[in-house]
Amino acid sequence: MIPGALALRGRRVGLLGGSFNPAHDGHRHISLAAIRLLALDQVWWLVSPQNPLKPRANMAAMEARAARARAVSRHPQIRVTTLEAQLGTTYTADTLRALRRQLPATRFVWLMGADNLFQLPDWQRWTTIPHQMPMAIFARKSYDFKALGGIAAHRFAAYRLPPRAAKRLLAHPPPAWVFLPFRRHPASATRIRATGAWPQLLETRNSPGE
């Protein structure tokens, strides 16, 4: 059972998943925007043990990534978690199902950038994800047009809400999603790693990926 489950009854919680390799101010920027635009009580950063679609080489240990995320988040409404490791889930579809089962009275919304909406058809059981909880998609430079013209956006086009409905998104039964144009943040984990500013605290992994 997830600690503090009773205190989360009726809470509006955004879920932001990813490798956070490393976490940066862009993650914080999108989280604060989600809190404001969606009227959320909290945003949870789900630091994944290993993103199945990303190489294990150059992936820092989960503990190092979580520690960096806690240092970057700097906000009482942002909670850094390693829930996927605790739940034993690898794929987002399974993580969301487990969270809904353990916290049925919590009102969740899945948060992701336009790049992930474009890539969503590559995810395991991707068509089940929009049916599990509402989704808020945040604009991301160079991906917006591709994402809105992509397979996932077309598949669920009938369930798209206008940005002005963002605060009501969590009241809609899934599938329901909104695309939120907002001021983008220039930070990039790829660029941070390229500069050598993020120490490569690597660990050997033997379990299979996606």
Q: State the pLDDT at residue 6.
A: 76
Share of the chain above pLDDT 90, in %: 74
Q: State the pLDDT at residue 3.
A: 67
Q: State the pLDDT at residue 206.
A: 34
- The answer to whether position 38 is within a domain reads yes
Q: Please tell me the distance from the alpha carbon of residue 205 to that of residue 48, in angstroms, as a whole number.
A: 13
Count of C-beta atoms within a 10 Å radius of residue 94:
16
Say if residue 98 is exposed, middle or buried (CB neighbours under 10 Å; 0-12, 13-18, 19+).
Answer: middle
Q: State the pLDDT at residue 4.
A: 72
- The answer to whether position 139 is within a domain reads yes
Average pLDDT for 118-146: 95
Q: State the pLDDT at residue 209.
A: 35
Average the pLDDT over each of 13-22, 101-110, 199-208 and give the range with the smallest value.
199-208
- What are the residues whose beta carbons fall under 8 Å from the beta carbon of 182, sequence distance 6 or more? 33, 37, 138, 139
- The answer to whether position 202 is within a domain reads no
Q: State the pLDDT at residue 190.
A: 66
Q: What is the pLDDT of residues 154-191, one digit of tens each?
A: 999 999 999 999 999 999 999 999 999 987 766 676 66
Q: What is the pLDDT of residues 49-97, one digit of tens each?
A: 977 767 777 788 999 999 999 999 999 999 999 999 999 999 999 999 9
Work out the mean pLDDT of the chain and round it to a whole number.
88
Which CATH number characterizes residue 142's domain? 3.40.50.620
Cα dist from 38 to 49, 74, 162, 189, whole Å:
28, 20, 13, 25
- Contact assessment for residue 185 and residue 26, using Cβ atoms and an 8 Å cutoff: yes
Q: State the pLDDT at residue 203.
A: 39
- The answer to whether position 183 is within a domain reads yes
Cα dist from 110 to 39, 102, 157, 183, 206, whole Å:
14, 16, 17, 20, 29
- The answer to whether position 201 is within a domain reads no
Model-level pTM? 0.88
- Contact assessment for residue 130 and residue 175, using Cβ atoms and an 8 Å cutoff: yes
- The answer to whether position 90 is within a domain reads yes
The total domain count for the chain is: 1
Domain region containing 22: 8-195
- The answer to whether position 30 is within a domain reads yes
- The answer to whether position 46 is within a domain reads yes
Q: Please tell me the distance from the alpha carbon of residue 149 to that of residue 167, in angstroms, as a whole number.
A: 24
